């Protein structure tokens, strides 16, 4: 018989061990080695069988063992030390507390959070990035409050059929068996929020809290008795269900998330957020909820929109249009209009926020951008791609001027750096690599080659052991008998160059590029002097049969008796597996179709363990590759035929592996000696990339470049009873109404002879008609720089033109000076832009007047 419901019973801790419960419920343990060691010492064998899950450990540990520990003075001393260390971590001032006028609270919304494998609420890079963001915010003292959903089945558990086809399983999750607490009010009743739905239905959700160091993470759960069966299943699976289901999930995340924040502040006394960070379009409806709140105070929709936008940041994570959530327009209209309409929030205005080129679709990314005064991509290259991708929202502006910046992602060192690397660095005097901005990584440059090579060998040996263990488990799940699996004991060799490749399996990541020439790959794997071995992992989306076919192709190739000792596919890629892969691989392979990788942080985590990257120059690698920290796979940019492009780039990959990478790895002076050039690259990677790829750098950039300015804008908008928002909305309405009459009537120049030369200056004059606007409403600029054959400005600069009086025949006269600092084809133009101190970008309104 199968149980109808499942739940977890936790141990009753003796009084002396009560701090254990506090340690378990703060997820700082997931990146704090000393606390993990303490948990392991409770019962080492049980700890291993629980796969490092401290909640499960306390649920299964024998009561007699707890009584023994309660009487163990050495254990109690360690327990109290750990508890005191946690309290100091939670209360001591940190980097953020020294900043003036910083926001008291920042809300961070994401559909998934990858904190630890014990809390399976993530599918891939977006969730891991969100988890690292929260952990790093905690380390820096940034007062973030995370907001997400609690999925009762999480993301799927992956296994393989006998023929290598991906299979999915969704094990049920009991929140009481997770390191969570339920949000309750003063009477002890669970706090719940509700969202109205069409046809008089209501979606209810309770709120769970995960404590991530100093950062609370609120997770909404619709599996409550108040709901009808359909609504009860809204938070069943991450990225599961059809279009209607996804829309309800995103309404719960955005609208319900704001309501959960309000409830949390009311119950806990925590300050209400001044800044709202929308991590991808899934949470975009949070802006609508904030507008609704503001209209209830008497603001018009436009005034509320300005007040909400001022404190909002939108981060886009995909350069792939197919990766953006889009809903049928009539479906959105049904959920925000008719019998479910909000007073003060007209449904047509809601639909306008998500408008795109297809009039029948509602675009969540477009809504996110329109509801945020500030926005960014997640690497420099992704910022460029995003400005191109969304340039239609800012008509009249070159893509380079589109109001989307970039903050390159980073990774949380304490989560991803192996202890072996930290111990290696700490042989030298100076700060630990985990302190401050990671400057301690520079010490590794002083460590001997022998020590570096020994560390890398140790990590590779651990990976080999883990590969064999997981491979055996996978084959048993596929139906093999134990007697068939003796060959697994010979899989992989700790002395062989090991390549890691693990990520989600959308087509643009090209999981099977390595299989373009299977015979050549086989020769590389089985080379008599310079062999390689490859460990591969990744999940295809359950609805993506094309991705599952790619997985099957890899699995079937790896199943061949000819190569199965040199290449493996490990199912169920998660945080636990990732730690072994990132630390144990010598080379991290990444071959996306450029420029479709937004950032790609797996290579960063590998680099922090001394693994060298072998990657297409996409995402973060495009800006951080320096020629000595790995290898760049040449790309066939401009080749339109995708098959030919894959052929060209796979050949480049094979040639790098065969002629450069393996040659350097096996270039040793004698048996047992380290490869000097290789270890030099490892030390260079650790000492130079370490500080660059850390999430401390990333979160500091978010704070300084986005959170602080957004908070300042929000305060201006809210001042004097939201007078700032009212005035800005009125000003924008006036500008939009008058703008069709704004014209650049005439442009002329002076100051150059027949042969312009570098060092000279050009005086530019323009006559402009303002259409009834005031001088203070606009900025007149000259844009100048080199030009192409079509007279388009490239890498242009701008200079403001000053008002000099009335022009002939009407209009106003403006004048400025352009310096000639370069040779070659040169050009300039004049334009008029709206100007207001509350604008975050001159392009914010999407209005520009150019010469007729």
Distance, CA of 126 to chain centre:
4
Question: What are the tens digits of pLDDT across the range 373-418?
Answer: 999 999 999 999 999 999 999 998 999 999 999 999 999 999 999 9
566 dihedral zone (left: phi>0; alpha: psi -120 to 50; beta): alpha
Q: How many residues does the chain have?
A: 852
- Give mean pLDDT, residues 237-243: 90
Look at residue 554 and tell me whether its pLDDT is greater than 70.
yes
Look at residue 170 and tell me whether its pLDDT is greater than 70.
yes
Copy the structure tokens of residue 265.
Answer: 């502040």
3-state secondary structure of 199: helix
Burial of 379 (0-12, 13-18, 19+ CB in 10 A): buried
pTM of the full predicted structure? 0.96
Contact 555, 570 (CB under 8 A): no
Look at residue 795 and tell me whether its pLDDT is greater than 90.
no
Question: What are the tens digits of pLDDT across the range 425-468?
Answer: 998 888 888 887 888 999 999 999 999 999 999 999 999 999 99
Question: What are the tens digits of pLDDT across the range 743-790?
Answer: 999 999 887 777 788 878 889 999 999 999 999 999 999 999 888 888
Burial of 431 (0-12, 13-18, 19+ CB in 10 A): middle
Residue linked to tokens 């023994």: 68
Contact 335, 734 (CB under 8 A): no
As beta bridge partners, residue 851 has 744
CA distances for 28 relative to 23, 34, 380, angstroms: 8, 11, 31
Q: What is the pLDDT of residue 796?
A: 86
Query: What is the helix, strand, coil percentage profile of the chain, to 5?
Result: 45, 20, 35
Copy the structure tokens of residue 307.
Answer: 């007040």
Question: Quick one: what percent of the chain has pLDDT higher than 90?
Answer: 88
Q: What is the pLDDT of residue 172?
A: 87
Copy the structure tokens of residue 526.
Answer: 């089985």
Phi, psi of 564 (to 5 degrees): -65, -15
Residue 68 exposure: Cα atoms within 13 Å on the Cβ side: 8
Report the interhelical angle of 257-268 vs 286-295 (nearest 10°): 60
From CA 800, how far away is CA 782, in angstroms rounded? 6
Look at residue 17 and tell me whether its pLDDT is greater than 70.
yes
Per-residue burial over 526-565, b if 16 or more Cβ lie within 10 Å, else e, is ebeebbbbbbbbbbbbbebeebbebbbbbbebbbeeebbb
From CA 120, how far away is CA 737, in angstroms rounded? 51
Instruction: Using alpha carbons only, give the angle 832, 748, 751 rounded to the nearest 5 degrees.
Output: 120
- Give mean pLDDT, residues 495-518: 94
Burial of 454 (0-12, 13-18, 19+ CB in 10 A): middle
Copy the structure tokens of residue 808.
Answer: 């002939």
- Report the mean per-residue pLDDT for the chain: 95
Q: What is the pLDDT of residue 179?
A: 96
Look at residue 10 and tell me whether its pLDDT is greater than 80.
no
Q: What is the pLDDT of residue 417?
A: 97
As beta bridge partners, residue 169 has 157
Copy the structure tokens of residue 29.
Answer: 């343990």
From CA 736, how far away is CA 847, in angstroms rounded? 8
From CA 73, how far away is CA 58, in angstroms rounded? 20
Look at residue 551 and tell me whether its pLDDT is greater than 70.
yes
From CA 342, how far away is CA 340, in angstroms rounded? 7
List, as one string, the DSSP characters of 278-328.
EESGGGTTHHHHHHHHHHTTT--HHHHHHHHHHTEEEE---S-GGGS-EEE
- Give mean pLDDT, residues 346-363: 97
Question: What are the tens digits of pLDDT across the range 716-742?
Answer: 999 999 999 999 999 999 999 999 999
Look at residue 824 and tell me whether its pLDDT is greater than 90.
no
Residue among 260, 251, 248, 148 at smallest CA distance from 193 = 260
From CA 739, how far away is CA 396, in angstroms rounded? 13
Contact 349, 367 (CB under 8 A): no
Question: Quick one: what percent of the chain has pLDDT higher than 70?
Answer: 98
Look at residue 8 and tell me whether its pLDDT is greater than 80.
no
As a whole number of angstroms, the longest Cα–Cα distance in the chain is: 98
Distance, CA of 82 to chain centre:
31
Look at residue 121 and tell me whether its pLDDT is greater than 80.
yes
For residue 540, name the pLDDT band (cuts at 50, 70, 90): very high
- Give mean pLDDT, residues 153-163: 94
Q: What is the pLDDT of residue 124?
A: 86
Q: What is the pLDDT of residue 801?
A: 96
Contact 631, 656 (CB under 8 A): yes
Look at residue 7 and tell me whether its pLDDT is greater than 70.
no
Look at residue 231 and tell me whether its pLDDT is greater than 90.
yes
From CA 126, how far away is CA 571, in angstroms rounded? 20
Contact 578, 502 (CB under 8 A): yes
Question: What are the tens digits of pLDDT across the range 574-584?
Answer: 999 999 999 99
Contact 70, 76 (CB under 8 A): yes
Q: What is the pLDDT of residue 373?
A: 98
From CA 600, how far away is CA 379, in angstroms rounded? 9
């Amino acid at each position: 018989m199968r149980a109808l419901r499942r739940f977890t019973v936790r141990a009753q801790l003796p009084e002396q061990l009560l701090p254990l419960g506090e340690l378990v419920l703060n997820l700082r343990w997931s990146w704090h080695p000393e606390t993990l060691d303490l948990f392991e010492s409770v019962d080492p064998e049980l700890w291993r069988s629980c796969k490092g899950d401290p909640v499960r450990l306390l649920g299964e540990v024998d009561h007699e063992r707890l009584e023994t520990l309660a009487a163990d003075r050495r254990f109690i001393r360690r327990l109290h030390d750990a508890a005191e260390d946690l309290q100091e971590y939670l209360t001591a001032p940190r980097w953020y507390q020294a900043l003036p006028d910083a926001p008291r609270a920042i809300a961070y919304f994401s559909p998934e959070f990858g904190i630890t494998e014990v809390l399976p609420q993530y599918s891939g890079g977006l969730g891991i990035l969100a988890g690292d963001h929260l952990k790093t915010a905690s380390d820096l003292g940034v007062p973030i409050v995370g907001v997400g959903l609690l999925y009762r089945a999480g993301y799927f558990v992956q296994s393989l059929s006998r023929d290598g086809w991906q299979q999915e399983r969704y094990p049920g999750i009991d929140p009481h068996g997770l390191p969570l607490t339920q949000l309750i009010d003063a009477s002890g009743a669970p706090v719940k929020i509700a969202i109205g739905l069409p046809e008089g239905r209501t979606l209810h959700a309770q709120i769970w809290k995960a404590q991530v160091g100093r950062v609370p993470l609120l997770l909404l759960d619709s599996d409550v008795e108040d709901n009808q069966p359909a609504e009860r299943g809204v938070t069943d699976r991450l990225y599961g269900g059809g279009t209607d289901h996804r829309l309800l999930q995103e309404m719960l995340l955005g609208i319900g998330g704001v309501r959960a924040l309000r409830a949390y502040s009311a119950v806990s006394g925590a300050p209400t957020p001044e800044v709202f960070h929308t991590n991808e379009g899934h949470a975009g409806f949070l802006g609508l909820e904030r507008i609704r709140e503001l209209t209830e105070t008497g603001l018009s929709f436009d005034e509320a929109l300005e007040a909400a936008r001022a404190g909002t940041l939108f981060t886009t994570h995909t350069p792939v249009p197919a990766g953006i959530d889009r809903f049928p327009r009539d479906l959105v209209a049904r959920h925000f209009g008719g019998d479910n309409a909000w007073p003060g929030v007209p449904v047509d205005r809601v639909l306008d926020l998500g408008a795109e080129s297809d009039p029948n679709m509602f675009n969540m990314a477009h809504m996110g951008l329109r509801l945020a005064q500030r926005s960014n991509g997640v690497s420099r290259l992704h910022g460029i791609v995003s400005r191109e991708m969304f340039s239609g929202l800012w008509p009249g502006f070159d893509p380079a001027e589109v109001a989307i910046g970039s903050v390159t992602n980073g990774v949380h060192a304490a989560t991803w750096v192996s202890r072996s690397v930290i111990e290696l660095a700490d042989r030298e005097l100076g700060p630990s690599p985990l302190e401050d901005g990671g400057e301690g990584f520079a010490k590794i440059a002083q460590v001997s080659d022998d020590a570096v090579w020994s560390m890398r060998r140790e990590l590779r040996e651990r990976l080999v052991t883990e590969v064999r263990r997981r491979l055996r488990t996978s084959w048993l799940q596929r139906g093999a008998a134990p007697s068939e699996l003796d060959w697994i004991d010979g899989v992989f060799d700790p002395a062989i160059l090991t390549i890691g490749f693990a990520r989600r399996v959308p087509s643009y990541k090209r999981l099977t590029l390595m299989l373009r020439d299977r015979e050549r790959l086989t020769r590389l794997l089985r080379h008599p002097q310079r062999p390689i071995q490859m460990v591969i992992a990744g999940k295809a989306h359950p609805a993506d049969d094309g991705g599952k076919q790619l997985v099957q192709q890899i699995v079937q190739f790896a199943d061949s008796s000819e190569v199965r000792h040199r290449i493996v596919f490990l199912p169920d890629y998660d945080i636990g597996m990732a730690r072994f892969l990132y630390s144990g691989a010598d080379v991290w392979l990444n071959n996306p179709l450029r420029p479709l990788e937004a950032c790609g942080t797996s290579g960063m985590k590998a680099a922090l363990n001394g693994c060298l990257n072998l990657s297409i120059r996409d995402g973060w690698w495009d800006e951080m590759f320096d020629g000595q920290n790995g290898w760049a796979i040449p790309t066939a940019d401009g080749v339109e035929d995708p098959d030919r492009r894959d052929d060209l780039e796979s050949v480049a990959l094979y040639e790098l592996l065969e002629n450069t990478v393996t040659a350097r790895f096996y270039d040793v002076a004698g048996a047992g000696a380290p490869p000097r050039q290789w270890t030099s690259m490892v030390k260079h990677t650790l000492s130079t990339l370490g500080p660059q790829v850390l999430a401390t750098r990333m979160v500091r950039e978010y704070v300084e470049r986005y959170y602080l300015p957004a908070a300042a804008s929000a305060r201006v908008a809210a001042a004097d009873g939201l007078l700032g928002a009212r005035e800005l909305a009125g000003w924008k309405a006036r500008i939009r109404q008058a703008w069709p009459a704004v014209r650049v009537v005439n442009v002329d120049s002076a100051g150059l002879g027949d042969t312009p030369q570098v060092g000279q200056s050009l005086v530019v004059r323009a006559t402009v008609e303002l259409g009834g606007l005031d001088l203070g409403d606009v900025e007149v600029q000259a844009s100048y720089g080199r030009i192409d054959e079509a007279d388009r400005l490239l890498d242009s600069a701008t200079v403001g033109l000053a008002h000099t009086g009335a022009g002939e025949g009407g209009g106003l006269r403006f004048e400025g000076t352009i310096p000639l600092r370069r040779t070659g084809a040169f050009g300039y133009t004049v334009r008029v832009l709206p100007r207001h101190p509350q604008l975050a970008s001159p392009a914010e309104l999407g209005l520009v007047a150019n010469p007729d």
